[in-house]
């Protein structure tokens, strides 16, 4: 099937669906210029994310971890939603039962206007108190290091799911509910090979959904979906409502 015919088929599905679930990953943010944060420059070349994004790393050296997150926040502060993000907002407006699941922590979906979503890996612009557990929004750039909770003066940490931590049970419950009840699942900008996201496509398909993958390159899951379309999210997603 050609890309044009696959897009046409997907457009037809979306035009009549009443239940749409979307899963997004790094590929949709890359089109906004968001780097993958794999130590692209300077000091961070000496570290792997796994060495900084963990409870153990934070307990060992919270100042270093916050310096890394402050660097990430400074980069993300300059990024804006792209046409793919904005198209998903329009799809949310059109479809009665819509839910977006994102693996991204960059806040670009909420910034674009998406309201019905699960940020399953957290949000870099939110902080959580290590003492009282309160979660708040903090958009300070730069952020004070070390930041303190305004309620109890406890140490704040990024509200991010770190390596070795479990995803929020409520987020997972809502996500799987949306996957089991959707008519169409769009998988955008993610290879979908890391669990639990690796199970999302099969769950939707097992419950009768039409599953479409939009990604820059083929993935190990491309042969398992109904249509797989290669290209940039910012170019492909707007075509679905044009």
Residues 90 and 186 in one domain: yes
Please give the pLDDT value at position 44: 67
Do 14 and 20 form a contact (C-beta atoms < 8 A)? yes
Residues 42 and 130 in one domain: yes
Residues 156 and 90 in one domain: no
Q: Measured between alpha carbons, how far is 202 from 208 in angstroms, rounded to an integer?
A: 10
Catalytic residues, which ones? Answer: 121
Residues 59 and 86 in one domain: no
Please give the pLDDT value at position 39: 46
Do 158 and 135 form a contact (C-beta atoms < 8 A)? no
- Residue 37, class by beta-carbon neighbours within 10 Å (0-12 exposed, 13-18 middle, 19+ buried)? buried
Residues 67 and 132 in one domain: yes
Residues 70 and 169 in one domain: no
Nearest-CA neighbor of 205 among 235, 226, 177? 226
Residues 91 and 105 in one domain: yes
Q: What is the CATH number of the domain that holds 51?
A: 3.30.1600.10
Q: What is the pLDDT of residues 84-98, one digit of tens each?
A: 999 999 999 999 999
Please give the pLDDT value at position 49: 76
Report the number of distinct structural domains present in the chain: 2
Structural domain that includes position 140: 35-78+125-160
Q: What is the pLDDT of residues 42-62, one digit of tens each?
A: 556 677 777 899 999 999 999
Bridge partners of 129, per DSSP, are 156
Q: What is the CATH number of the domain that holds 22?
A: 3.40.50.1220
Please give the pLDDT value at position 145: 97
Nearest-CA neighbor of 156 among 173, 188, 133? 133
Determine how β-strand 184-188 pairs with β-strand 135-137: unpaired
> What parts of the chain have a pLDDT lower than 50?
39
Tokens of 30: 């890359």
What is the value of pTM for the model shown? 0.93
Please give the pLDDT value at position 1: 59
Please give the pLDDT value at position 242: 78
């Amino acid at each position: 099937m050609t890309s044009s015919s696959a897009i046409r088929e997907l457009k037809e599905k979306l035009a009549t669906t009443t239940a749409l679930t979307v899963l997004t990953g790094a590929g949709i943010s890359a089109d906004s210029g968001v780097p993958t944060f794999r130590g692209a420059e300077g000091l961070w070349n000496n570290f792997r994310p796994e060495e900084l994004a963990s409870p153990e790393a934070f307990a060992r050296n919270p100042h270093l971890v916050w310096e890394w997150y402050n660097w990430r926040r400074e980069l993300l502060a300059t990024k804006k939603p792209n046409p793919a993000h904005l198209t998903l907002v329009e799809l949310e407006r059109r479809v009665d039962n819509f839910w977006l699941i994102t693996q991204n922590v960059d806040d670009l979906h909420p910034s674009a206007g998406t309201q019905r979503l699960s940020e399953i890996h957290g949000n870099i612009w939110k902080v959580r108190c290590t003492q009282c557990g309160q979660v708040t929004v903090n958009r300070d750039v730069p952020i004070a290091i070390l930041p303190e909770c305004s309620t109890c003066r406890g140490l704040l940490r990024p509200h991010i799911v770190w390596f070795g931590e479990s995803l929020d049970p409520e987020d997972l419950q809502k996500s799987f509910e949306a996957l089991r009840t959707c008519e169409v699942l769009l998988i955008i900008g993610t290879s979908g090979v890391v669990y639990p996201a690796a199970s999302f496509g099969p769950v939707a398909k097992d419950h009768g959904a039409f599953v479409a993958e939009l990604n820059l390159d083929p993935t190990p899951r491309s042969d398992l979906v109904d249509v797989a379309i290669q290209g940039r999210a910012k170019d492909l997603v707007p075509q679905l409502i044009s």
